Homo-oligomer: A and B are copies of this chain.
Amino acid sequence: MLNQSAELDRLFHALADPARRAIVERLSRGPARVSELARPLPMSLSAAMQHLGVLEAAGLVRSEKIGRVRTCAIELKALRLAELWIAALRTEWELRLDRLCEYLKSLEEGDHDGSGD
């Protein structure tokens, strides 16, 4: 996990803003020009471009300039790291619950043994 820590920092930081999540949601429906992405956002084009910069730095968006037009696309595989981190937590948690259940069962069995003596 440790060497992916900076990546997770950038990824979660990028997702911690409603405008950036709106951009990612829009791009999940297909590539778009910067101007299209900025239009529905309640901010200037320059502010929207700053958000795009944060998303690109986190690896969530890639962009390409052809002529005078910059087009953006989502990089869904960047989200895989966040999904894996959350899944690892769940696994750890479920293992703990399993161990707790086994322990409680063993207590119950112990009780039965005791009452049978």
Q: Taking beta carbons and an 8 Å cutoff, which residues of A are in contact with B?
A: 1, 5, 8-9, 11-13, 15-18, 21, 24-25, 28-30, 74, 76, 79, 82-83, 85-86, 89-90, 92-93, 96
Contacts and interface: CB of A to CB of B under 8 A. Distances in A.
Contact of A90 (B11, B18, B76): B76
Interface of A is mostly: helix
A28 B18 CA distance: 28
Contacts of A16: 8-9, 11-13, 16
A79 B86 contact: yes
Contacts of A9: 16-18
A89 B79 contact: yes
Nearest to A76: B93
